[in-house]
Every structure is written in structure tokens, then in C-alpha cells.
Amino acid sequence: MAEKLDHMTRILANDGITIGGKEALEQAGFEVVTESVPQEDLMEELKNFDAVLVRSATTIRKELIDGCPNIKLIGRGGVGMDNIDVEYAREKGVEVINTPAASSESVAELVFAHLLGLVRFLQESNRNMPLTGDTDFKGMKKRFAKGVELRGKTMGIIGIGRIGQATARIALGLGMKVVATDPFIDKVTITLNIEGASDVSVDINTVPMDDLFKESDFISLHVPGDGNPVITSKEIAKMKDGVGIINASRGGVVKEEDLLKEIERGKVVFAGLDVFENEPKPAINVLMQEQISLTPHIGAATVEAQDRIGLELAEKIIAYFST
């Protein structure tokens, strides 16, 4: 329960907040500051605030929590909270919130942006056309003429929570078969909202991970990062030859050294990465591998998702400080 404050509640949105979220908070009587404070100055500055909002750029660790006992709430715009010492904050009586539902569709669409591009060699074509498109057009046409269709293929989803389900929804809409594995979920019902027609529901029963490896043509990961990779050469050895792997969850979930090795030997035909082990400085050998489609951690970076994130944060903050 929130402690009643004897002053206007001040919130530092250190990694920003949408106009809609800021306006909702200000209309509810909060003061919202959006000027970003460098990490090294944050402890001193936070002594003037009651709550802090972050995304992935700012970290909130034990020392900061101990040094700012005035902070009543920490908000994370997005799903993952690995940049916050969540349990420690809660032990200290600090409310910690995030927005797990706001960006699901955006991340799922990025997964398929990578996948659709990869099966038709768009990432390689876009790199090479400006270089040799005018001198080797016929050669490139032949090189990139062996694309495959997604319809009828099997999409394996590791982690069938909100984002995994959104990914499954798109896969089913494209005519793919979906298999999923999740240590906490036995069954989900995926509902396809089809414009101009009745909704269609599909039940998906989760399977052991090894079964998913055997069946899947493509694999997408939607799991929290805990420092231990989910996919290494050991797991890839259990997959189909020519598998494609997409990681838009957390850096380190896929061991990049092993991924590169398996691409080189042809076991993995391609990969799509939105997250990396060494953010914000991904390994150069990963960036230079033409069979990897690359984006700079933009899974939730759509206008619509950011609007939802800002409004969801505002609603939760208002509710907390109103109790």
C-alpha cells in the first residue's frame, strides 16, 4: 500500500514517457520530469523524487535503492526487468511495476519481419544490391532464387506467454503449424481475430523442448534472461538441419559463439537477432555475418506500443498512489 505523501508526487521518467502517459499523470496531479539524468548522477538526483520510470537504458541496483529510501515506486516501461533488482526493492517496501501486455504485438511482428526477410534473403540482398547490383544482377538473382514459403512450415515457440502467444497468432494466420514449450504453461488457446469473419480459436498443448527441436523448421525464443543460455550447440544438435532461429527476447538466451559456428557449418541456415550478449556493443563477428538479420533491440519500439506502455504505466502509478 502506498504511503500518503504530504507534497505533490514527483516522478522522474529517466528514459522518457509518451505524451499520453505524461499528460495522464499530470492531469492526476503528478509532476513528471523527463530530463534524462546520467547513471552516475542518479542517486543524488533521485533524492528529489518519489518514483522513477526507466526502460532499458537506466539500471536500478541495490546501492541506488539503499541510497534513495524516499523512492516509493520503480516503473519499467516494457516487459523484462533484468536492469532492476526487483526482489531487493520489494523487500525494502518499494513497489515495482512493468507493462507486460503493452508490447506483445510489436515484438511478435518484428519476429516475422526478420523471418519473412530471412526466408527470401532480404537481409543479404539489401546489403549486397548497392554494392554489386548493377554489375552482377543476374548472379544475385540466381543466388537469391531459392527462398521458401512459411505456409505449411512448423514454427517452434520457446516460451508461450503473452509475446509467444502473439507470435503464435501470426504464425497460424500465415498457415503455419505451431509447437510450443513452456515450463509453466500446459495449454493455451490462441484466438485469431479476422476482420469481416468470425473469430477462430486454436488450442496449443505445450511439448517437451526436445520434441520442439525435432519438429520445428523455425524457432523463436520468448523467455526472460537469467544469465544462462537456452540455446547452445548442444541444443542446436537436436534441431533439424537448416533450422532458422529468431531471438527477440533477451541477449544471452542464444550463445552467439555457438550460433556462429552452427551457421558456418550449415546446421543453422539463418538467424534473426534483435538482442545481443554485449549490448550496446554487439560483437563485430555477429554484425558481419550475412546470414543473420539484425536490429538494435527495437522489439517494442513502435508508436502504438509506446503509447500503450505510457498509458499502462500511468494507470498503475495513479492506482498505486491513490490507495
Indicate the SS3 state at residue 177: strand
Contact 75, 53 (CB under 8 A): yes
Cα separation, 111 vs 105, in Å, equals 10
Predicted model pTM: 0.88
Q: Identify the CA nearest to 17 among candidates 307, 304, 298, 315.
A: 307
pLDDT score of 78: 87
Q: Cell numbers of 188, please?
A: 493455451
**What backbone phi and psi angles, to 5 degrees, belong to 156?**
-100, 130
pLDDT score of 101: 84
CB atoms within 10 A of CB 87: 9
Catalytic residue among 250, 262, 277, 312: 250
Tell me, yes or no, if 114 is annotated catalytic. no
pLDDT score of 1: 47
Catalytic residue among 26, 44, 279, 304: 279
Tell me, yes or no, if 297 is annotated catalytic. yes
The DSSP output letter for 34 is -
Each residue's pLDDT tens digit, 144-203 = 999 999 999 999 999 999 999 999 999 999 999 999 999 999 999 999 998 889 999 999
DSSP-assigned letters across all residues of 64-131: HHHH-TT--EEEESSS--TTB-HHHHHHTT-EEEE-TTTTHHHHHHHHHHHHHHHHTTHHHHHHHHHH
Residues of the chain with CATH 3.40.50.720: 10-100+303-322, 104-294
Please give the class, per CATH, of domain 10-100+303-322.
alpha beta
pLDDT score of 323: 81
Whether the upstream peptide bond of residue 280 has omega within 30° of 0, thus cis, is: yes
CATH for 104-294 is 3.40.50.720
Regions of the chain short of the pLDDT cut 50 = 1, 4
Tell me, yes or no, if 250 is annotated catalytic. yes
